[in-house]
Structure 1
Amino acid sequence: MLSRAATSKLSPVLSTSLSSSAGNISAFSTISTRTRTTSRRVFKTGASQSSRNMSDSATFAKGKPEDEWRAVLSPQQFRVLRQKGTEPAHTGQYDKFKAQGVYECAGCGTPLYKSTTKFDSGCGWPAFFDAIPGAINRHDDISLGMVRTEITCAACGGHLGHVFKGEGFPTPTDERHCVNSISLKFKDE
């Protein structure tokens, strides 16, 4: 059963149908059909964009074929950067790291974040409130059944993490770039 808050975020037709037809099987099957159709459309769109980002190395200035990425990245880096994985929270070397310098893409060495934009969000991954202009790309990510904003290296397409907005952190942008440590390497100033 959906909570009132969750139901209020649904479309008016779906919300009304859910609240007025708890025992009505035919109404449920109509809702179920609409949901499957919508999910299928969204999934197809997301899947084609995702495969385009991961396989078309010609799109990126520092793109390489998959076998070359496997040769230069550790298995863990490959899983996160090239296969859009996530490292476990509180395990990355840069979560609590504090030093002055620049965080670069671990795949291609492109500068992504300045240490002056890093802050402690308590989320278990390095958090930044802004990237170096032009260094990252943003994409819709629907892999968990919700829309999130994925961030990737603009030069090589490597997966970095996700951006979250409006969480109320006292930063100039009110954004949290939640980045996998394994996607980064640090360079002293």
Structure 2
Amino acid sequence: MSRRGILAGGAAMFLLPACMSNAEEGGFEVTRSADQWREMLSDAEYDVMREEGTEARNSSPLNAVKAPGTFHCKGCDQALFVTRTKFESGTGWPSFYAPLENAVATKPDPGLFGTRTEVHCDRCGSHLGHVFEDGPEPTGLRYCMNGISMYFEPEDGGARVIG
């Protein structure tokens, strides 16, 4: 094999996973076609949840939520996080030190400046954000989430907050 062939193959292996969206990967309990996702989500929600984009810093109303309750996936309504695990990280995105059990999954997210760990809903595959190892005890983790991928259901039955 030529050097050019090896380089082209290596580039394809690196770039192909980055070009695939969660919708194409499949294997989730809740699945929809790209057209179905586009119909149910706004353009901004689709960009973040299906194309692995990032919402603007400090843009989510979920940053201010402190009431007891549960944060759910907008793609499938799965419960993801509870308020008692939320903390102020100073990043501009809703942050939690732990998800609910069996709510999220992770995968490597390679980029120009190294590999991060992507977090997605384990029921529908919607991109939620990333997890970092600089959070508070007891886990030491910071689940830095895009509020646009979630909504908040207050424990007291009050009004839902849409991220």
Do they superpose with TM above 0.5?
A: yes
How far is the alpha carbon of 1:89 from its aligned partner? Answer: 0.7
Q: Which structure carries more strand by proportion?
A: 2
Cα gap change, 1:97 to 1:147, in 2 (>3 Å): same
How far apart, CA to CA, are the structure 2 residues paired with 1:40 and 1:120?
A: 43
1:96–1:120 Cα contact (<8 Å) kept: no
Contiguous gaps of at least 5 residues in structure 2: 156-163
1:51 deviates by 2.0
1:98 maps to which residue?
Answer: 66
The answer for the alignment partner of 1:158 in structure 2 is: 126
Q: Are the equivalent residues in 1 in contact too, given 2:58–2:92 (CA < 8 A)?
A: yes
Q: Provide the rounded CA distance (Å) in 2 between the counterparts of 1:43 and 1:109.
A: 35
Letter of the aligned partner of 2:20 in structure 1?
Answer: S
Are residue 41 (structure 1) and residue 10 (structure 2) matched?
yes
Match among 110, 119, 139 for residue 173 of structure 1: 139
Paired residue for 1:140? Answer: 108
How many residues end up aligned between the 2 structures? 151
Partners of 1:174 and 1:50 lie apart in 2 by: 31
Identity of aligned residues (%): 35
1:53 Cα offset (Å): 3.3
Aligned-residue CA RMSD (Å): 2.3
TM superposition shift of 1:54? 3.0
Output the TM-score relative to the length of structure 2.
0.83
More helix by share: 1
Residue 154 of structure 2: aligned partner: 188
Taking structure 1 as the reference length, the TM-score comes to 0.73
Contact 2:81 2:100 in 1 (8 A): yes
Is the CA contact (8 Å cut-off) linking 1:101 and 1:188 kept in structure 2? yes
- Write out the 4+ residue segments of structure 1 that deviate beyond 6 Å after TM superposition: none
Unaligned runs of 5+ in 1: 1-32
